[in-house]
A and B are shown apart, each in its own frame.
Chain A
Amino acid sequence: MTVIEASATPPRRLAWQLAEVREIAVETPRVKSLLLHVPAWQGHLPGQHVDIRLTAEDGYQAQHSYSIASPPEDELLALTVELVDDGEVSPYLIDNVRAGDQFELRGPIGGYFVWTIATEGPLCLIAGGSGIAPLAAMLRHRARRKDRTPALLVYSSRTLEDIIYREELETMAQRDSNLRLVNTLTRKQPEGWTGYRRRIDKAMLAEVAFPPEQDPKIFICGPTPLVEDASRFLVELGHPFPTIKTERFGPTGGLAS
């Protein structure tokens, strides 16, 4: 019998590193993307996130997790930040941060909510609001590598102006017949809008999503009620539990008793 020495090498700590803001992109009235230069970055997989840590002059620190929106192929690390009014980190990142500023970051974190072009089966992405960020990393990775895995993005936004990365996603879909983009606008639709105009529901997913027989890999990211609903509908439509990966954020919308 072979005895394997446990913990022969202690795990390496995920160290805090310095990130410098190189560019800031205004995505919507409440959302910005920060493009960061992280000299010691070791690479990441599409879907992973980072923790960032801000330090005040009095030594107070606050941390927050953000999904990485950029693909591994890009040089700068992109974080897409939505303003949360009663938040602590996002108001600072949205209102105060300028190009050249530095803060601490560590990652990449999370090995479950990840997709690469090596993954088998069609890619089914469902996003609400800023939940698009980790899914954008997957689509950007797929596009950079000129991969043609059949892919679908169902994206729920309140209004046309709230669609994050709108032009980029449209261009991506125009150039790639294997990528289908389905937008739904839940609050206000522009004149002549031909897309959906309601929250993501079971009928919509039955209509647009890959059927279970095609064994799609499903990633859902958005506000908790949207993720709860969409994942439940997909289970009811016959998709096996392990094929549905989720990330929830924000208020629970009455789920807490």
Chain B
Amino acid sequence: MDSTPISRGFTSRRQELTSKNRTPPGQYVTADFPVLSAGPTPQTKVEDWTLALQLGGSLLRKWSWAEFEALPQTTIKTDIHCVTKWSKLDTTWRGVTFDDLLKAVGLAAPPAPYVMAHCDGGYSTNLPLADLVDGKGMIVTRYEDLPIPPAHGGPARLLVPHLYFWKSGKWVRRLRFMEEDEHGFWESLGYHNYGNPWKEQRYDGD
């Protein structure tokens, strides 16, 4: 469009809270932790939970909760950015990095360029492996030192904080390595395939 209309009398009420260096464009900082999910919250018990790693239709490895808990654990403090415009600063998570997951199955490098995360409740999201290795992505099981509440993705969710938070799929159960990229749930419904908040890649074509 040619020019942006000025909303007479509109002023910022939240700018003071919003640090320019830490808040991507179009986001505001909240102290709350909103819940956005497309359906009911799955209530998966840890004794029923497993995480599977799949490559080319074959199962590389499946961990039980206890086995997963025995993997090397990493704690991270990071900012998160939801496509619905809220950002939350300094959130603390604990879990297993993708680097340690790959190491646990004896892989020195990612076996494929892409991964689809499949989650309880039918959710899925696709990611380039390059965005998960070198400490960039984790499967987390603790939020602020406590088990993650089901509404926030417990018992285990993805954490890929440098992308919009829908990429950090809740209730993750299966990671499928892919040679070719495929769309996940929101990615096939008009949302951006990559989702970089600093480039404001909210929707397809952004």
Q: Measuring CB to CB, which residues of chain A are less than 8 angstroms from any residue of chain B?
A: 10-18, 51, 53-58, 60-65, 86-88, 91-92, 96, 101-104, 109-113, 224, 228, 231-232, 234-235, 241-242, 244-246, 248-252, 255-257
Contacts and interface: CB of A to CB of B under 8 A. Distances in A.
Given A96-B9, A111-B190, A246 B37 contact: yes
Contacts of A110: 189-190
B41 A55 contact: no
A238 B35 CA distance: 24
Contacts of B152: 255-256
Nearest to A48: B190
B170 to A, nearest CB: 13
Contact of A109 (B8, B35, B203): B203
B12 A88 contact: yes
Contacts of B38: 112-113, 245-246
Contacts of A244: 39-40
A226 B204 CA distance: 31
A228 B15 CA distance: 31
Interface in B138-197: 143-144, 146, 149, 151-152, 185, 189-190
Given A60-B12, A252-B151, A92 B7 contact: yes
A88 B7 contact: no
25 contacts: A13-B203, A14-B205, A14-B206, A16-B1, A18-B1, A56-B11, A86-B13, A88-B28, A104-B1, A109-B190, A110-B189, A113-B38, A224-B34, A228-B35, A235-B40, A241-B122, A245-B38, A246-B39, A250-B34, A252-B32, A252-B34, A252-B35, A255-B35, A255-B149, A255-B152
Nearest to B146: A257
A10 B40 contact: no
Contacts of A228: 35, 41, 151
Interface residues of B, number: 45
Contacts of B4: 55, 104
Central interface residue in A56, A111, A232, by most chain B CB within 10 Å:
A56
Interface of B: 1, 4-15, 26, 28, 32-43, 84-85, 121-122, 143-144, 146, 149, 151-152, 185, 189-190, 202-206
B10 A232 contact: no
Contacts of A232: 40-41, 43
Contacts of A51: 202
Which of A110, A232, A257 lies at the interface centre, i.e. has the most chain B CB atoms within 10 A of its CB?
Answer: A257
A87 B13 CA distance: 8
Contacts of A86: 13
Contacts of B149: 255-257
A62 B35 contact: no
Contacts of A231: 39-41
B160 to A, nearest CB: 20
A62 B16 CA distance: 13
Contacts of B39: 231, 241-242, 244-246
A19 to B, nearest CB: 9
Contacts of B43: 232
Nearest to A12: B205
Contact of B35 (A10, A14, A248): A248
Given A110-B190, A228-B151, A56 B40 contact: no
A257 B56 CA distance: 39
A219 B143 CA distance: 30
Contacts of A256: 32-33, 149, 152
A14 B203 contact: yes
Contacts of B206: 13-14
A14 to B, nearest CB: 5
